[in-house]
Amino acid sequence: MMKKQIVEEEQKNFKNLSGIFSIFLLATIITPVPLVHFLSYVGAGIWIVIACLGIYFSILVEKKKKELDIQTYKEIVAFWEGKSLTEIEKAREEGKRPYQTIVYTVGAGVIGAVVTLFFLWILGV
């Protein structure tokens, strides 16, 4: 009974952190142009704060994922549903992790480059 309560608390905590991170990620994507356009440097400062909070919560989510040993989408979904993967499924998911890291890194670089080019285009540089 105690183990079930602990797991439920961990699930709730993980879902809350994930939700907060999602909100800040969405705000980081949507708000930079309006903030800078309407508030100039103050807007840029506000956006930097939003981005920093998003980074902070992403670090918390990653720490929680590591603590709970859930890294892939399938593992996270199973955790949210209160299930566990079989040993074979777990081994398959662990085998995907190095490739996913490379894809995420390259993807983040591409997104960063696109956002930078977009800001340069908006600012007319």
Neighbours of 71 (CB within 10 A): 17
Task: Please state the pTM of the whole predicted model.
Answer: 0.64
- Please report the pLDDT score of residue 8 as a whole number: 80
Give pLDDT tens digits along the chain (125 positions): 656 666 788 888 989 999 999 999 999 999 998 998 899 999 999 999 999 999 999 999 989 888 887 766 677 777 777 777 676 676 666 666 677 778 888 888 999 899 889 888 888 76
Measured between its terminal Cα atoms, the distance across the chain in Å is 61
- Please report the pLDDT score of residue 87 as a whole number: 63
The residue type of 89 is E
Q: What are the CA-CA distances from residue 81 to residues 1, 15, 34 (Å)?
A: 17, 11, 38
Read out DSSP for 86-112? Answer: -HHHHHHHHHHHHHHHHHHHHHHHHHH
Largest Cα–Cα separation, the chain: 61
Contact 64, 17 (CB under 8 A): yes
DSSP letter at 72 equals S
